[in-house]
Amino acid sequence: MGSRQEKLQQLLVVVTGGTRGIGFATAKVLAAQGYTLALWYHNRHEEAENARQLLGRLGATVHLQQVDVVDRLRVKQALIDLVGLPQKIYGLVNNAGILQQKPFYTLTDQEWDHMMAVNLKGAFICAQETMPIIERKGGSIVNVASSGGQLGGTLAVHYAASKAGVISLTKSLARLGASKDVRVNCVSPGLIETEMTREEIASVTGQEKINLQIPLQRVGTPDEIAATVAFLISDSASYITGQTVNVNGGLYMR
């Protein structure tokens, strides 16, 4: 019998937004464990290619695909390309997302719609197109939400609402997938140091959150989120589904 790593090489995990931030950190952990990866990115091709090459030097098999998660036809085509590979599509990490901080009364309909499209509709489309494939042999889906979806946020109302939707979507998909051996869970990060949150962390509001609202009094790292995502993807979490795992330094407790 082959080693566990050899077995995982036969399993493919799709990571949306997989070439930067939390997505790339997750890809590195999954690659180290032996999974074959499909990294979906929207733009910044050079950055994506650099990510692929780095993972390749670590010994990972990586398929780089330019996919707008809101474009259903492109999602379908990307999956068609992957289905033809020897590896079984085992997992999906719905990580692609955007953040905008803006006072509530100045938000436009277009900004609201764009936030909902990328953060919530994108997760819906990717899950709806991927689940029937995963259902054939079982697998795991992990959605990435945010503590903002649990706490609310006055400077990012549309972002918080979209992430609350991701948490609810997770519960519904977990019920749908259970009979077909598809587990669906959610990781809800707190304030994590990425390019997307750099401006917030540097702000007065961000520093107050770190010092006064986060018991551990520091921001988290993408690697700390990635470790939890990888655990939930793996069969070590075989009896966990429909759950939201909070990785936030104590910012939100329940």
How many domains, in total, are found in the chain? 1
Asked if residue 195 is part of any domain, the answer here is: no
pLDDT over threshold 60, residue 155: yes
Q: CB 61: neighbour CB atoms within 10 A?
A: 16
Task: List 247's β-bridge partners, or say none.
Answer: 189
Calculate the CA 252 to chain-centre distance.
Answer: 19
Asked if residue 211 is part of any domain, the answer here is: no
**pLDDT at res. 2:** 58
Average pLDDT taken over every residue of the chain: 95
Give the DSSP letter string of 2-45: --HHHHHTTEEEEEETTTSHHHHHHHHHHHHHT-EEEEEESS-H
Helix 157-177 vs helix 122-134: crossing angle, to nearest 10: 20
Residues 192-211: tens digit of each pLDDT = 998 888 888 888 888 988 99
- For the chain, list the strands marked E by DSSP: 11-16, 36-41, 62-66, 88-94, 139-144, 182-189, 244-247
Q: Are 240 and 141 in contact (CB under 8 A)?
A: no
**pLDDT at res. 4:** 74
Catalytic residue among 105, 159, 239, 252: 159
Q: Are 79 and 12 in contact (CB under 8 A)?
A: no
Q: CB 215: neighbour CB atoms within 10 A?
A: 11
Asked if residue 215 is part of any domain, the answer here is: no
Residues 123-140: tens digit of each pLDDT = 999 999 999 999 999 999
Is 159 part of the annotated catalytic residue set?
yes
pLDDT over threshold 80, residue 1: no
Name the least confident of 29-33, 106-110, 146-150, 206-210: 206-210
Domain range enclosing 133: 7-190+225-246
What CATH code is carried by the domain that includes residue 170?
A: 3.40.50.720
Asked if residue 238 is part of any domain, the answer here is: yes
